[in-house]
């Protein structure tokens, strides 16, 4: 393979995973972050986030000399043939995307651009951002250096981001000319995945369209789950039946308490706003949002219908991260659930295998329990809020014996209703 010199600006989930995996397949990578404390942590072998497999890859590639960290963007740009921008694009109050981080990095790159480079938007950005990045670099580059801007959206899922990057379904490269394409093919050659070359605007739309469609699938099966509950059907059997149709697929047809995290809610709002700014009323996506919000309300009604009054009730919650295999609690439905329970006057005991440290500042009224098998002690009910595999191995006999009454609200359908009833539980799940 042809080794490429790469700079990654930003060491969040996307930047760190991308940089480490690029280094692992043989590229020469410098990761840049303006947080000097994070840079120091990474240089010392520490990890600012939890992602399965990441720590080992970072340590291996740093030791091999193919990955290093710096707070100097000038150092990173000088090193690289290709500069990836992987900084946050947080939502604003109206749903539009805050592009100030992208703009700032574009100006910083421009200021130290002295030789031709390929500048790649890796962050999730609205359509036409590539045009603005190119304009900004052109405007602020004192040396009038030649460059190309490329859109290369990421499709990483937290909790399995390493596998997603190493074995991608596809790689999208959006360009204004064919000039940067050979180098971008060299970057991705080790991953042996289909490469789709498009115009920049199409590449930028692909990411928002993909995430919005996946959010739609989740809201669809949650709406189907409500019909199943009302009719006495089993949503898992329905999902299996429709998921075997190759046109539909089984992925993302798992009902629960609603989607969350840093991507789906943000990207959905952004896509609605992007469409609105272009004169298109994307009403379908607004309904996806409404169904998602209603799913939490429906789940809370299960709890109140059974427990009646939540005030002074003691409730154990298993799961705080927005999904399994991550410590990310941003826009987590589990966090929102705890907040709603606390607002109703309940006492909450909670456990998560990875996310408790990040959850503490968000849930000051919650008692955090290190052992999942101790969460149920003295509780009036137990709630499964995140789909960690660990929770499938909960000591159900111990939990039942330690509770005032063995009631479980399973927001992730981890257990078999027939078996739970046989074990003496009052068991409520989703769509069954």
Classify residue 202 as exposed, middle or buried by CB count within 10 Å of its CB (0-12, 13-18, 19+): middle
CB contact at 8 A, 121 and 102: yes
Establish whether 141 is a catalytic residue: no
CA angle, residues 372, 375, 381, in degrees to nearest 5: 125
CB contact at 8 A, 315 and 300: no
CA angle, residues 102, 9, 42, in degrees to nearest 5: 140
407-410 and 426-428: which strand pairing?
A: parallel
Tokens coding 95:
């749903």
- Token match 């009730």: residue? 313
**Catalytic residue, candidates 7, 31, 263, 338:** 263
CB contact at 8 A, 55 and 23: no
What sign has the CA pseudo-torsion 26, 28, 32, 38? positive
CA angle, residues 412, 415, 420, in degrees to nearest 5: 135
- 2 closest CA partner among 28, 37, 21: 28
159: left (phi over 0), alpha (psi -120 to 50) or beta: left
Q: Which residues are catalytic?
A: 263
């Amino acid at each position: 393979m042809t080794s490429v010199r790469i700079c990654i600006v930003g060491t969040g989930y996307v930047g760190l995973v991308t940089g480490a995996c690029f280094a692992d397949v043989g590229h020469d990578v410098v990761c840049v972050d303006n947080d000097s404390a994070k840079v120091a942590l990474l240089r010392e072998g520490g990890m600012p986030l939890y992602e399965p497999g990441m720590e080992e890859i970072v340590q291996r590639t740093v030791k091999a000399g193919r990955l290093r960290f710096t707070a100097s963007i000038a150092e990173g740009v000088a090193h690289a043939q290709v500069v990836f921008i992987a900084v946050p694009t947080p939502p604003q109050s109206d749903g539009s995307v805050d592009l100030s981080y992208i703009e700032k990095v574009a100006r910083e790159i421009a200021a130290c651009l002295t030789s031709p480079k390929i500048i790649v938007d890796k962050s999730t950005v609205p359509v036409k951002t590539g045009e603005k990045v190119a304009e900004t670099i052109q405007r602020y580059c004192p040396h009038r250096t030649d460059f190309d801007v490329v859109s290369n959206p990421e499709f990483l899922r937290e909790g399995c981001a390493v596998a997603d990057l190493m074995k991608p379904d596809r790689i999208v490269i959006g360009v204004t000319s064919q000039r940067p394409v050979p180098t971008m093919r060299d970057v991705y050659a080790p991953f042996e995945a289909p490469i789709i070359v498009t115009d920049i605007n199409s590449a930028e739309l692909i990411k928002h369209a993909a995430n919005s469609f996946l959010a739609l699938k989740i809201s669809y099966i949650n709406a189907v789950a409500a019909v199943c509950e009302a009719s006495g059907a089993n949503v898992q059997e329905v999902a299996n039946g429709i998921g075997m149709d190759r046109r539909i697929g089984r992925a993302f047809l798992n009902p629960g308490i609603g989607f969350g995290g840093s991507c789906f809610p943000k990207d959905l709002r952004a896509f609605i706003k992007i469409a609105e700014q272009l004169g298109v009323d994307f009403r379908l996506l607004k309904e996806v949002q409404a169904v998602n919000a209603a799913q939490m309300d429906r789940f809370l009604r299960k709890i109140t219908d059974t427990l009646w009054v939540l005030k002074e009730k003691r409730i154990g919650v298993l799961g705080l991260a927005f999904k399994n295999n991550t410590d990310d609690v941003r826009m987590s439905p589990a966090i929102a659930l705890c907040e709603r329970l606390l607002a109703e006057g309940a006492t909450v005991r909670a456990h998560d295998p990875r996310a408790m440290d990040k959850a503490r500042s968000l849930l000051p009224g919650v008692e955090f329990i290190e052992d999942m098998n101790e969460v149920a002690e003295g509780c009036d009910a137990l709630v499964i809020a995140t789909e960690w595999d660990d929770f499938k191995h909960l000591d159900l006999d111990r939990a039942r014996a330690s509770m005032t009454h063995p009631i479980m609200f399973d927001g992730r359908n981890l257990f078999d209703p027939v078996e739970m009833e046989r074990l003496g539980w009052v068991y409520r799940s989703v769509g069954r």
